Amino acid sequence: MEENSLLHFLDDTPSSHYRKTCDGYASQNDGDDHSDSSDPANARERLEHLLNQPANKFCADCGTPDPKWAALPFGAFICIKCSGTHRSLGVHISKVISVNLDEWTDEEVNCLANSGGNATVNTRYEAFLPENYKKARQDFATEERASFIRKKYELQQFVTDPQFSCPLRKPGADKHHNQQHAGSRHGTFRNSWRKKDPDHKIVKKMMDVAMVEFVGLIKVDIIRGTNLAVRDVMSSDPYVMIILGHQSMKTKVIKSTLNPIWNERLMLSIPHPVPPLKLQVFDKDTFSSDDRMGEAEVDIQPLISAAREYQNSIITESAQICTFLASENSILAKDSVISIVDGKVEQEIVLRLQNVEHGELEIKLECVPLSQ
């Protein structure tokens, strides 16, 4: 089964940018003895070494003990609450990986191992933190925490001495910063930036998203489509888009078939309050907009509740937790079962696609609550 990159916000395509940043950051550390950083065994050893360093036993952003998440490409170990804010910045800025849960690629291990951990990250990203500035603390509200993390990593406000920094260098998605300089010698710069800023809407959207709290991750396996509708002459080129709150992801396109097999895993963060998971099937058209081939909505709340209830369960054999019955008019084409398999809480669903002549979509969901 193909595993897509972890998270996908605001329709960004993170992988190339992420890789560049990750490589770039690693190369900044070339002065250190990392000449063999391509050796995976060696990278894991260095990762273990990093995990045992005292600075990495506390969240890099708020100081909460025993952080279980890592933010790449920075290489910071962070707590669950800060991980929510990092996720909301989008993977093109910060990719959050669970130290325990996720399968790490060699590239990610290398990136983290080369980062130097929390001590190095904070030396760099908090180098010019003003003395009286309130760094995030464990008891900070989501909003204050989000504001600090955005300034630290996205705007990188504390990397350089403010006395020497150029007011145009980071077209301050930060209003406060601009207001501070209103009427001062920087005022003209600020106004000219405002008129030209093409990213203003994106930044605004990000600020909205940054306030979202996340309660878990959902893995969505798009398995297959059956008897889908014809949208080209004889067949269709179907793909599936999944949407959860502000996030969306797509599968690959499978050419000329009404019974596509994707076997593709997509992963999204689960925001709070939990929205329904929307699935839309499209026919890919090269010269016109893509045609709709039906859609479906899934309430993922029962799966999340089951995952929370069973997250510390010691059940080792598979067991059924609950069943949703299919009927002639329901969206379920077959009974759907939430079950626990190898300690994972999963739900298999065959959906009858809506607003289309015919077609079914088979998916499997797995929920990982954020408490690790």
Q: How far is the CB of 300 from Zn ion (least distance, A)?
A: 26
Using CB under 5 A, which of the segments 15-23, 57-65, 118-126, 266-274 binds Zn ion?
A: 57-65
Q: Which is nearer to Zn ion, 86 or 231 (CB)?
A: 86
Q: Which is nearer to Zn ion, 123 or 354 (CB)?
A: 123
CB 324 within 8 A of CB 310: no
61 scored as a contact of Zn ion (CB under 5 A): yes
173 scored as a contact of Zn ion (CB under 5 A): no
Q: How far is the CB of 49 from Zn ion (least distance, A)?
A: 22
According to CB under 5 A, which one of 22, 62, 89, 249 is a site residue for Zn ion?
62
CB 345 within 8 A of CB 307: yes
367 scored as a contact of Zn ion (CB under 5 A): no
Rounded Cα gap, residues 176 and 165, in angstroms? 16
Burial of 217 (0-12, 13-18, 19+ CB in 10 A): buried
DSSP state of 151: I
Q: Token pair of 338, please? A: 């939430």
Using CB under 5 A, which of the segments 54-62, 296-304, 324-332, 338-346 binds Zn ion?
A: 54-62
Q: Which is nearer to Zn ion, 96 or 220 (CB)?
A: 96
CB 99 within 8 A of CB 117: no
Q: Which is nearer to Zn ion, 119 or 332 (CB)?
A: 119
150 scored as a contact of Zn ion (CB under 5 A): no
List CB contacts of 88: < 8 A, sequence separation 6 or more. Answer: 9, 146, 206, 209, 210, 211, 212, 214
Q: Which is nearer to Zn ion, 64 or 247 (CB)?
A: 64
26 scored as a contact of Zn ion (CB under 5 A): no
146 scored as a contact of Zn ion (CB under 5 A): no
- Kindly state the number of chain residues that form the binding site for Zn ion, as judged by CB under 5 A: 6
Closest CA to 368 of 217, 160, 233, 236: 217
**Phi and psi angles of residue 262, each rounded to the nearest 5 degrees, phi first:** -90, -45
**Phi and psi angles of residue 205, each rounded to the nearest 5 degrees, phi first:** -65, -40
According to CB under 5 A, which one of 22, 47, 79, 270 is a site residue for Zn ion?
79
Q: How far is the CB of 60 from Zn ion (least distance, A)?
A: 7
Q: In the complex, which residues of this chain contact Zn ion (CB under 5 A)?
A: 59, 61-62, 64, 79, 82
